[in-house]
Amino acid sequence: MKKIQLKSRAKINLSLDVLGKRPDGYHEVKMIMQEIDLYDNIILVEKRHEDSIKIISECPYIPKDRTNIAYRAAEVLKKNFDISWGVNIYIEKNIPVAAGMAGGSSNAAAVLKGLNTLWDLKLTQQQLMDIGITIGADVPFCIMGGAAIAEGMGEKLTPIEGLRNTWILVAKPSISVSTAEVYSRLDLEKINKKPDTEKLLEAMERGDLYALSHNMVNVLETVTLKQHPIIKELKRKMMEYQALGSMMSGSGPTVFGIYKDYKKAKSAKNNLAIINKQTFLIQSYSKGNKDE
């Protein structure tokens, strides 16, 4: 019985801009994505005598049926390549669910990569990414890992040099935010501050965390900060606890803070964890997923 274990890492957005709405209803975005070292553990165990796909997880917040995006990833490969074997997918969840950190997309990416090995499909990374986009807009980035500019629906990727030696404090408040609702409430006319991607990229290239932190913009905050004052409060707290900058990731509600100095970050984590249960201190992850 063959099995394979993979780390399924989360991402944060260092910027998020919405350029417009397409006729099909999707929004055209431009964002800087950064993989971080907060991960779910995924174990794939092949079943040669059964052909079913099974999701096994103790996490109560994710579906265990075919609506789980990791299930869909396995199903697509099984159908496309006519695989008659089954697989058990164990998901140990650490990434907060529905948080703006692409937890589900990352699980789907890990399943595609893992089954490529387990089923000996010999697909290239680009082929896996082409399959990934049929499952979800963030899946190709999660397959590629590292850091990238994402355009289109989020699937047009340009790899960039990511953050190194950077501490990221992540706080997920205990509220739920629907991505679809945030986008539907977004009024493009009312956005007066947009991210300057070039400026952010230059700051990243120079390793200038101060300039990066001061220029991060997520236009979706115009919706969520008004609706959920806790997001604004977490950002304020992070700045009070000496973050270089703080912003909401994706459509929220997760807030992150950037730190160069580990001691400051650790002290901020200890303080914030008192008022916000899901608080994590991790590092950025810029090597891509080449070790798996």
User: Which residues are identified as catalytic?
Assistant: 11, 138
CA separation (Å) from 271 to 99, 238, 255, 261, 275?
21, 10, 15, 16, 8
In the bound state with ligand ATP, the residue whose beta carbon lies nearer, of 100 and 162, is 100
How many Cβ atoms from other residues are within 10 Å of residue 290's Cβ? 7
Tokens 């120079």, residue located: 206
Q: Minimum distance between the CB of residue 161 and ligand ATP, rounded to whole angstroms?
A: 22
Provide the binding-site residues for ligand ATP, judged by CB under 6 A.
61-63, 68-70, 91, 97-105, 107, 138, 179, 250
Q: Minimum distance between the CB of residue 107 and ligand ATP, rounded to whole angstroms?
A: 4
User: Using an 8 Å Cβ cutoff, are 272 and 289 in contact?
Assistant: no
In the bound state with ligand ATP, the residue whose beta carbon lies nearer, of 107 and 222, is 107
Q: Minimum distance between the CB of residue 114 and ligand ATP, rounded to whole angstroms?
A: 13
In the bound state with ligand ATP, the residue whose beta carbon lies nearer, of 94 and 117, is 94
SS3 per-residue string spanning the chain: CCEEEEEEEEEEEEEEEEEEECCCCCEEEEEEEEEEEEEEEEEEEEECCCCCEEEECCCCCCCCCCCCHHHHHHHHHHHHCCCCCEEEEEEECCCCCCCCCCHHHHHHHHHHHHHHHHCCCCCCHHHHHHHHHCCCCCHHHHHHCCEEEEEECCCEEEEECCCCCCEEEEEECCCCCCHHHHHHHCCHHHCCCCCCHHHHHHHHHHCCHHHHHHHCCECCHHHHHHHCHHHHHHHHHHHHCCCCEEEECCCCCCEEEEECCHHHHHHHHHHHHHHCCEEEEEEECCCCCCCC
In the bound state with ligand ATP, the residue whose beta carbon lies nearer, of 108 and 209, is 108
Q: Minimum distance between the CB of residue 70 and ligand ATP, rounded to whole angstroms?
A: 4
User: Using an 8 Å Cβ cutoff, are 284 and 213 in contact?
Assistant: no
Q: Minimum distance between the CB of residue 32 and ligand ATP, rounded to whole angstroms?
A: 14
In the bound state with ligand ATP, the residue whose beta carbon lies nearer, of 166 and 218, is 218
In the bound state with ligand ATP, the residue whose beta carbon lies nearer, of 29 and 265, is 29
